C-alpha cells in the first residue's frame, strides 16, 4: 500500500495525502475482500509512523471486532 511505503520512506506529505484519501468515509474505500484485514494492519502501521492519534482510534474501532 502506497501510504505505508511513503510513511516508511518518511515522505510524510505523500503518506498523509494517501491516508486522507483512503480514510474518507471511515475507510470504506478499502474493498472488503481477503486483503482487507492485512491492509488494515498495514495502514495501522502507517498511522503509527505518522503519529495520527485520531486515525489510530478509527483503525482500532475497525480492527477490534476482528480480534475479539
Within 10 A of 3 (CB to CB), how many other CB atoms are there?
Answer: 26
- Residue 68 pLDDT grade (very low, low, confident, very high; cuts 50, 70, 90): low
Contact partners, residue 4, CB within 8 Å, separation at least 6: 15, 42, 43, 45, 46
pTM score, whole prediction: 0.84
Q: Work out how many domains the chain is built from and give that number.
A: 1
Provide the domain limits for residue 11: 2-67
pLDDT, average across residues 42-67: 91
Compute CA distances 56 → 8, 32, 50, whole Å.
17, 19, 10
Amino acid at each position: 500500500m502506497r501510504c505505508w511505503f511513503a510513511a516508511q520512506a518518511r515522505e510524510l506529505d505523500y503518506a498523509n495525502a494517501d491516508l486522507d484519501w483512503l480514510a474518507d468515509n471511515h475507510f470504506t474505500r478499502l474493498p472488503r475482500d481477503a486483503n482487507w484485514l492485512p491492509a488494515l494492519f498495514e495502514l495501522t502501521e502507517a498511522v503509527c509512523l505518522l503519529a495520527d492519534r485520531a486515525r489510530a482510534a478509527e483503525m482500532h474501532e475497525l480492527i477490534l471486532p476482528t480480534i475479539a
